[in-house]
Amino acid sequence: MGGIHDQIRDWWDEDAATYDASAGHALSDAVERAAWRAALERSLPPPPCRVLDVGTGTGALALLAAELGHEVTGVDLSPGMLAKAREKAASTGLEVSFVEGAAGEAPEGPFDAVMERHVLWTLSEPESALRAWRERVVPGGRLAVFEGSWGGEGPFVEARDALEGFLRRAFGLEDAHHGPYPPEVLEYLPLRSTGSPAPFIAAIQEAGWTRVRIARLRDVEWAVEQRDPWPLGLLGRRPRYALIADA
């Protein structure tokens, strides 16, 4: 498993150079930022609280949470991503503590809330990480998971994806990622291509979190969709949702 961990870290390190160029990553667009700010206000406890942002990447959500008045610690296994996050924090003047570490080895805390965005699908043992996060929060602490049906929903997903890929090539729009995710790693990721929120909910419950509730992030979907020329955003849309639970 150590080899897979190293491959994942190295892939994200290399991706740090281009990651923020993709819609939905840097949140540099005002509409996207507003949509995510609203999602955080709905999902996190009232500020100020101590928030752990797992898989913080280049720090987009961590900085938004700090802007809302929370005391934020961001953890990520990629030093390349964390370097970008620290640059952003310095340029905005916001105070966020960024720590290098794997998702299941988060700082001790304690925290009032743990959040993650698009991280659980990248984990080989998501339930194990979710249990570790539960141990980091105070009694009654909150979990905010921001994920999506990354495999797509409905009977025509493959046809839509094929058409989107053709149009992207025709428009000369390259993928912001530096390359495809390693196929030998993907086979170890149980949540990599979900077509429903059900597997995420099952993992959260298996890890001992309670009172799981869901909210569709339609405003986020719409904001991301607007970043691409029509009809690319519509073709590539994936259902996104917040899953909230209690310790």
pLDDT tens for each residue of 113-151: 999 999 999 999 999 999 999 999 999 999 999 999 999
Task: Give the model's confidence band at 41: pLDDT under 50 very low, under 70 low, under 90 confident, else very high.
Answer: very high
Do 238 and 150 touch, CB atoms closer than 8 A?
A: yes
Task: Give the model's confidence band at 198: pLDDT under 50 very low, under 70 low, under 90 confident, else very high.
Answer: very high
- Check pLDDT > 70 for residue 218: yes
How much is the pLDDT for 179?
Answer: 83
Is residue 95 classed as helix, strand or coil in its secondary structure? coil
Average pLDDT over residues 77-87: 96
How much is the pLDDT for 34?
Answer: 96
Task: Give the model's confidence band at 229: pLDDT under 50 very low, under 70 low, under 90 confident, else very high.
Answer: confident
Retrieve residue 65's tokens. 């949470």
CA dist 15 and 38 (Å) reads 28
Its CATH architecture, for the domain 2-246, is 3-Layer(aba) Sandwich (3.40)
Average pLDDT over residues 19-25: 79
- Would residue 63 be called left, alpha or beta, if left means φ above 0 and alpha means ψ between -120 and 50 degrees? alpha
CA dist 27 and 36 (Å) reads 8
How much is the pLDDT for 2?
Answer: 59
How much is the pLDDT for 101?
Answer: 95
Task: Give the model's confidence band at 219: pLDDT under 50 very low, under 70 low, under 90 confident, else very high.
Answer: very high
* Side-chain half-sphere exposure of 27, counting CA atoms within 13 A: 22
How much is the pLDDT for 37?
Answer: 97
Q: Domain residues of the chain, as ranges?
A: 2-246
The residue ranges of DSSP E strands in 41-136, in sequence order, are 50-54, 71-76, 96-100, 111-117
Per residue in 90-114, pLDDT (tens digit) is 999 999 999 999 999 889 889 999 9
Retrieve residue 146's tokens. 């921001």
Per residue in 2-17, pLDDT (tens digit) is 578 889 999 999 999 8
Do 239 and 148 touch, CB atoms closer than 8 A?
A: yes
How much is the pLDDT for 133?
Answer: 97
Do 19 and 177 touch, CB atoms closer than 8 A?
A: yes
